[in-house]
Homo-oligomer: A and B are copies of this chain.
Amino acid sequence: MRTRDYDKQERIKEAMIDLILKEGINGASVAKIAKKANVSPATIYVYYENKDEMLSEVFNECAHRSYSYIQECIDPKMSGKMFIEALIRSAYEFALKNEEIFSFVEQCSSCPTLSESVSHSDYSKYVFDLIHEYQRKKILKTYSDTNVAAVLFAPVKFMAMNRTAYKDTEEGLAELISMMQDLLLY
C-alpha cells in the first residue's frame, strides 16, 4: 500500500492559495490547482471530499495560522502599552510576511458561503482571555469584546490591504498604534 504523500497535500494547498490570490475564487479551478501542484485532478479528491471542503479546510487552517502568530507575539507580562503595540504590530507583520495567506483569508472571509464554515472563536479565545485579564487589572478600558476586536483588528487589516495608500507605512502603523493606546488604555 502506498502511503500518503503529505508533501503532495502541501503543494495542493499552496497551489490553491496562489491561484485564488492571482485570479480570484473563480479562477481557481480544480484542474488548474492540480496542474500547478503537479498532481492529477483525481488526486485532489484523495485528500479532500470536494472543492468546497478543500476551500474551507485550507481557509480554516490559514485563519488559524494568523491567530497563532499573534498569540506567539504577546505575553501576559507585557505592559498595557506594549500589549496593544504587540497585538497590532504582529497582526500587521503577519499580513506582511504572509501576504498570500492574509489576502487569501480576507478574500474568503467576504464570501458568504465560506465564512460560515469557520469558527473564529476557538482561535481568538487565548487573545481575549488575555485582554480580559488586562481589563480586570484596570489597564485596558472595558468595552464589549466585539468592539475591542473591531477597533484592534479591522483597522490594521484595512491598513495591510491598502498599504499603497500610505506614504510611510511604518509611520502610519506607529500612528495607528498610538491611537489605539490612547483609546484603550486608562
How distant is the Cα of A21 from the Cα of B115 in the complex, in angstroms? Answer: 12
Secondary structure of the A contact surface, majority rule: helix
| A172-B146 contact in complex given A26-B25, A107-B110, A183-B183, C-beta closer than 8 Å | yes
How distant is the Cα of A139 from the Cα of B177 in the complex, in angstroms? Answer: 21
Q: Is B150 in contact with A155, judged by CB distance below 8 angstroms?
A: yes
CB neighbours of A22 from chain B (8 A): 112
How distant is the Cα of A26 from the Cα of B165 in the complex, in angstroms? Answer: 29
CB neighbours of A146 from chain B (8 A): 159, 162, 165-166, 172
CB neighbours of A172 from chain B (8 A): 144, 146-147
The total of chain A residues at the interface (CB under 8 A) is 40
Question: A172-186 interface mask toward B, CB cutoff 8 Å, 1 = contact, 0 = none?
Answer: 100110010011000
CB neighbours of A158 from chain B (8 A): 149-150, 153-154
A11 at the interface (CB under 8 A from B): no
Q: Which of B111, B159, B165 contacts A25 (CB 8 A)?
A: B111
Q: Is B150 in contact with A176, judged by CB distance below 8 angstroms?
A: yes
CB neighbours of A175 from chain B (8 A): 143-144, 147
A57 at the interface (CB under 8 A from B): no
- 11 A-B pairs besides A143-B175, A146-B162, A154-B154 with CB distance below 8 A are A26-B26, A107-B111, A107-B112, A143-B179, A144-B172, A146-B159, A146-B165, A146-B166, A147-B159, A150-B155, A179-B183
